[in-house]
Structure 1
Amino acid sequence: MSQTVVDRIPDHIARAVVDPHAFAEWDGIHTMLAELRRDHPFARADLDGYETFWIASRYEDIQAIAKRNDLFLSGVAQIMPLADVVLEHSIGFQALSRGVVTMNAPEHMKYRLLTQNWFQPKSIRGFETRFRQIARRYVDHMASLGGECDFFKEIAVHYPLMVINSILGIPDEAEPLMMRLTQNLVNIDDPELTGEPVPKTPEERAARTRAVAEEAWDYFKQVAAERRANPTDDVASVIANARIGGQPISDIDTLGYYVTVATAGHDTTAASVAAAIWALAERPEQLAKVQADPSLIPNLVDEAVRWTTPIYHFVRTAAEDTEFGGQHIAKGDRIVLMYLSGNRDEDVFDDPFEFRVDRPVNRQIGFGYGVHLCLGQHLARMEMGILFEELLPRLKSLELAGTPTRKITNFLGGPKSVPIRYEMA
C-alpha cells in the first residue's frame, strides 16, 4: 500500500510565516505566498520549536476548510511556538482567548447570538449620525494640521476606537485607556506601538499578557457592574447581563467578549482605513475616480479590506485524522487559513496586486468565512464608508510625505505609519 507523499513548505517560507518581522516586508512576504499558491497550495511546515502546521494558501481551500467547522476546530487563533504553551495556561491568555472567534459548536452560536442583532445593518443604522459626527471631528482635525500628518497616528487609529466605544457605551474620556489596552494586546511584538520592549521569554510574554488582561478586567468589571445595576441601550449592557441556559456567563467569558469587541472592532478597521489612504496617495488616478463617483465608496471599502487583510491568518485544529488536498492530516494538527494569501489568489481576483476602487466583483475574505464570518463586518463597512464620504470630497490633493511602515506581527497587522501631504477644502 503506497503512502501519501507529504508536500512540505520550503523552509524559508515556513520560517517567514512565523516571523513577525517578515510581514513588515510586504513585497517579500507576498512573493513567498504567491510561491505557495503556485507550488505548495496545501502543504505542511516542519519547523523546530513548532507543532506541525499546514498552510492553506488558496482562496477555495480556505473557504472549504472554514466550512468544515465540525472537523477543523477553532481554539488557538494564531501560530505560536511550542515554548509559548505557557501562555495557554495563564489566566490572561484564557480570558483573552474566550471570545466568539475561538469557540466551537454548540457554544459558539450561543455566544454569537448574544450580540448578533446589535451588529446587523438595521441596528447600526441608528448610530449613523453619531458615527458621522465622529468622522467629521477627525476630518476637521486633519484639516487643522497644516497639510501634513501621519494619517495612521492622527486619524486612522483613533476614529474606529471612538466608534467602537460608542457601540459599547464607553465614554470618550476612556479613549487613552482603551487605546493602551488594545495596542498592548495585539501589538506585543512591536515596541513602537506598545512603548515597551518585546518580551524575551515565554514567561515574560505570559506576564505581559496577564498584566494587560488584569487591567482590562479591572476596567470592564466596573462597566459590567454599572450595566447590571442600570442597564442602558448599548452592547456593554447586553454582555453584562448575558445569560446562556438561564445562567449568567462567567467573568472570564464576560471579559473575553468585551475584549473581542474592543480589539476586533478597532485595529482591523484602523488598518484598512490607513492602508486605503496609503494606496490612494500612491495612485492619484484611483483617488480621482472615487472622488468623481462617490457610489464607488462601498467598492473602495471592500478593496481596502482585501488589500490590507488585517487579520493575516487564523488557525484551525483537526478534530480527527482526515485528508485534505491529497494530504493526510493527523488529529491535533494545526491548519493555518492564510487569508492574506487568499485575497491575492490569481484564480479568483483579476490583477490581484493592483488596488482598484472600481473592482466589480470583490469576494474578499478579509472578514473570514463560514460560521466565524466577522460579527462586525457591517459595522466596519459602515464606519469606513462614512469616513471616506466625509474625507474624500474635501481632499484637493494627496501624496505620501515619507515612507509608510507596517506593524511587526504575523497575525493582526497593517500600517503603523502613513505620512501624507495634502490640501483640503
Structure 2
Amino acid sequence: MNLALSLDRVPDHIARAIVDPHAYVEWDGLHDMLAHLRRDHPFARADIEGYDPFWIASKYEDIQEVTRKNDIFLSGVAQLMPTIDLELDRTVGFASEARGLVTMNAPEHMKYRRIAQNWFLPKSVRSYEDRFRKLARSYVDRMAEMGGECDFFKEVAVRYPLLVIMSILGVGDEAEDLMMRFTQNLVNIDDPDLTGEPAPKTPQERAARTRAVAEEGWAYFNEIAEERRRRPTDDVASVIANAKIDGEPISNNAALGYYITIAIAGHDTTAASVAGALWALAERPEELAKVKADISLASSLAEEAVRWTTPIYHFARTAACDTEFRGQPVAKGDHVFLSFPSGNRDDQAFTDPFEFKADRTNNRQIGFSYGVHQCIGQHLARMEMTILFQELIPRLQSLELAGTPKRKITNFQGGPKSVPIRYKID
C-alpha cells in the first residue's frame, strides 16, 4: 500500500491550532476549524514539526467507534505535546508512573474500575444529596453576601466541586488549599494566570515542573493511603487503599494514580462545566428564564453544560496493530486523538449544535467520554451540578456578564478561568 498516496492529511494550520494551548482560548475560531475537519477531513493525520504524527477523529460517530474498538485502539499516556525523549519521560515525566484508570486497558482496566465503581453509581451518590445540597446552598448564600457582583468561576465554580470531591474521598477541610493548588497546577501548566509561573518553554521543563507538582500530591495521598490502611473509614480513600487485585494488595502507584484521577477529573471538569453554564445563561436570558420557570430543567441544563463546555478536549488511543479506519491506513503505534469538542458540535449528532439549549432533549453528549472508559464519576458530576443549579437559579432575579470571561490556556483539560457576573439574588 502506498501510504503517501492514501493518507488524508489535516491542513497544517489546523494541525498547529489543535496542539497550540492558546488556540483553545479563541473558542469560536477553533470550532470553525473543527467544523472544517468534520466536513472535509473527518479522520486524518497531522504531520507537523516537533510532534509525533497523530490522527484526529473529529466526527461524533467516529469517536464512539474508536472507543468501542478498545482491543485495537488502546489507552495510554499520549498527549498533544512536543515529542519528548523516551528516557527523559521515564525518569522525569509524571505520566509514565501514573496508574490512572484512563491509561489502563483490558483486562486490567475493569479490575481497577470495579474497586470504586459502586461508590459512583446513582444509588450511592444519592446518599450524599443532603450534604451536597447544604454545601451548594452555602455558596449561593455567599453570593448573596457579595453585593451583586463576583467572578463566578473563582468564587463558586472552582470551589464547590473541590469540596464535593474531598467529601467523597474523605479528605479533611484542612487540605483544601493543598488540593486546590495540586488540581489546578497539574492540569493548567500552560496558563500563568492559574499557576503563577510562566508557561514551560521546553518539553524537559514541562516534565520537570509536572513532576514537582505531582510529587506534592503524591506525598499527601500516600499519607492518606497509609492512614486508611491502619484505620479504614467509610470513604473512597479507604476502599482504594485496601483494595486487592487478583488477591494481591493494590500497589502504591496504582492507589496514588486512582486518588489523583478522582481528584483532578472530579474537580476541574465539573468546575469548568458549571462556569460554562453560568456564562451561557448570562448571555442568554431566555434560557435562564426557561429554567426559572421549570426548575426540573436543572438536570438537562447540567447535561447541556457538559456538551457546551466539553472540559476534556481530547483523549488519546494508540493502535495495537496495523489497521484501517474510515479508509485510512493506521499503523501499529500510531496515536489517535479523539476531539470531544468537535464531536459535541457535530450536526449529524445534535440539532443546532452551536446553540446553547437548557432544555435540550436526547442530549447524548460525549463530554464524559464513551465506552469502557466513560467517566466513572459521571453520575456524581451530574448530581452536584444539578443541585447547584436547583439552589442558585430560583434565587436569581437577574444575571448578566460584568466583564469579559476568559478561557484557560490549555490543549487538554480546559474551560473558563474567569466568568465575571453581575446579578440580583434574594
TM bracket (short chain): over 0.9
Tell me the SS of whatever aligns to 1:317.
Answer: strand
AA partner of residue 117 (structure 1):
N
Instruction: Look up the equivalent residue of 2:269 and give its one-letter code.
Output: T
Amino acid at match of 1:395: L
Letter in 2 for 1:126: S
Match for residue 80 of structure 2? Answer: 79
Partner of 2:113: 112
Deviations along 1:255-312, one digit per CA (max 9) or x if unpaired, are: 1111000000000000000000000000000000011011111110110000000001
Q: Which residue in the other structure is 2:269 paired with?
A: 268
CA–CA distance in 2 between the matches of 1:35 and 1:139?
A: 41
Deviation at 1:97, TM superposition (A): 3.2
With over 3 angstroms needed to count, the CA separation of the structure-2 counterparts of 1:135 and 1:380, relative to structure 1, is same
Q: Distance in 2 between matches of 1:258 and 1:77?
A: 20
2:58·2:340 contact (CA, 8 Å) conserved in 1? yes
Aligned-pair CA distance for 1:5: 2.1
Identity of aligned residues (%): 72
Tell me how far apart the structure 1 counterparts of residues 398 and 134 of structure 2 sit (CA, whole Å): 23
SS at match of 2:21: coil
Alpha-carbon deviation of 1:213? 1.8
User: 1:34 Cα shift?
Assistant: 0.3
Residue 408 of structure 1 aligns with an amino acid whose one-letter code is I
Indicate conservation of the 8 Å contact 1:339/1:368, yes or no.
Answer: yes
Equivalent AA in structure 2 for residue 281 of structure 1: A
Give the aligned partner of residue 103 of structure 1: 104
Report the CA distance between 1:88 and its aligned residue: 3.0
Aligned to 1:251: 252
Q: How does 1:3-18 map to 2 (within 5 A)?
A: 5-18=6-19
Q: Which residue is equivalent to 2:414?
A: 413
Matching of residue 122 in structure 1 with residue 120 in structure 2: no
Distance 2:115 2:50 in 1: 38
Q: Distance in 2 between matches of 1:135 and 1:368?
A: 26
Q: Following the alignment from structure 1 to structure 2, what is the Cα–Cα distance between the partners of residues 59 and 217?
A: 36
Does structure 1 conserve the Cα–Cα contact (< 8 Å) formed by 2:89 and 2:96? no
| Partner residue, 1:296 | 297
> For the Cα contact (< 8 Å) 2:90–2:96, is it kept in 1?
no
Counterpart for residue 348 of structure 1: 349
1:283 equivalenced with 2:284 (yes/no)? yes
Q: In structure 1, what is the equivalent of residue 402 of structure 2? A: 401
Aligned to 2:113, what secondary structure does the other structure show?
helix
Cα pair distance change 1:95/1:394, threshold 3 Å = farther
Q: CA deviation at 1:140?
A: 0.8
How many residues are matched? Answer: 425
What CA distance in whole angstroms lies between the structure 1 residues aligned with 2:372 and 2:156? 32
Matches within 5 A, 1:135-146: 135-146=136-147
Aligned partner of 1:191: which letter?
A: P
Q: Distance in 2 between matches of 1:191 and 1:28?
A: 22
Matched, 1:53 2:54: yes
Deviation track 1:347-403 (CA, whole Å, cap 9, x = no partner) reads 111110000011122110000001001000000000000000000010000000000
Structure 1 alignment gaps of length 5 or more: none
Paired residue type of 1:145: M
Contact 1:395 1:422 in 2 (8 A): yes
Q: Residues 84 and 204 of structure 2 are in contact (CA less than 8 Å); yes or no, is this contact kept in structure 1?
A: no
Tell me the TM-score normalized by structure 1: 0.98
Deviations 1:151-170 (A, max 9, x none): 00000000000000000000
SS of the residue corresponding to residue 54 of structure 1 reads strand
Question: Displacement of 1:50 after TM fit?
Answer: 1.1
- Cα distance 1:285–1:87, how it changes in 2: closer, same or farther (>3 A)? farther
How many Å separate the matches in 2 of 1:282 and 1:403? Answer: 11
C-alpha displacement at 1:90, in angstroms?
3.3
State the Cα distance separating 1:203 from its structure 2 match: 2.0
**How many Å apart are 1:83 and its aligned residue?**
2.9
Distance 1:406 1:86 in 2: 34
Whole-Å separation in 1 of the counterparts to 2:96 and 2:116: 19
1:219 and 2:203 aligned: no
Secondary structure of 1:97's counterpart equals coil
Report the 3-state secondary structure (helix = DSSP H, G, I; strand = E; otherwise coil) of the residue aligned with 2:417.
strand
For 2:327, the equivalent position in structure 1 comes to: 326
SS at match of 1:214: helix
2:338 alignment partner AA: L
The residue that corresponds to 1:306 in the other structure is: 307
Q: Name the CA distance, whole Å, in 1 between partners of 2:59 and 2:88.
A: 30
Whether the 8 Å contact between 1:320 and 1:332 is mirrored in structure 2 is yes
- Distance across 1 between alignment mates of 2:49 and 2:84: 11
Question: Helix, strand or coil for the counterpart of 2:116?
Answer: helix
| In structure 1, distance between residues paired with 2:345 and 2:85 | 30
Whole-Å Cα distance in 1 between the matches of residues 350 and 186 of structure 2? 33
| Cα displacement (A) at 1:211 | 1.1
Residue aligning to 1:69: 70
TM-score of the two chains, using structure 2 as the length reference: 0.98
Q: 2:362, 2:95 → 1: CA distance?
A: 39
Partner of 1:373: 374
Q: Offset at 1:98?
A: 1.6
C-alpha deviation, 1:125, in angstroms:
0.9
Structure 2: 5+ residue stretches without partners? none
After superposition, the C-alpha distances for 1:394-416 in whole angstroms (9 at most, x for unaligned) are: 00000000000000001000000
Whether the 8 Å CA contact 1:86–1:206 is kept in 2: the answer is: no
SS in 2 for 1:409: coil
Secondary structure of the residue aligned to 1:399 is strand
Deviation at 1:78, TM superposition (A): 2.2
**Distance change >3 Å, CA 198–CA 176, structure 1 → 2:** same
The alpha-carbon distance between structure 1 residues 2 and 413, as it changes in their structure 2 partners (threshold 3 A), is closer
Distance, in Å, in 2 between the alignment partners of 1:125 and 1:84 is 46
Task: Determine the structure 2 residue equivalent to 1:93.
Answer: 94
Q: CA RMSD in A?
A: 1.3
How far did residue 134 of structure 1 move? 0.9
| Alpha-carbon spacing, 1:95–1:223, altered in 2? closer, same or farther (3 Å) | farther
- Deviation for aligned residue 1:186: 0.3
- Label 1:192 to 1:86 Cα distance change in 2 as closer, same or farther (>3 A): farther
SS in 1 for 2:161: helix
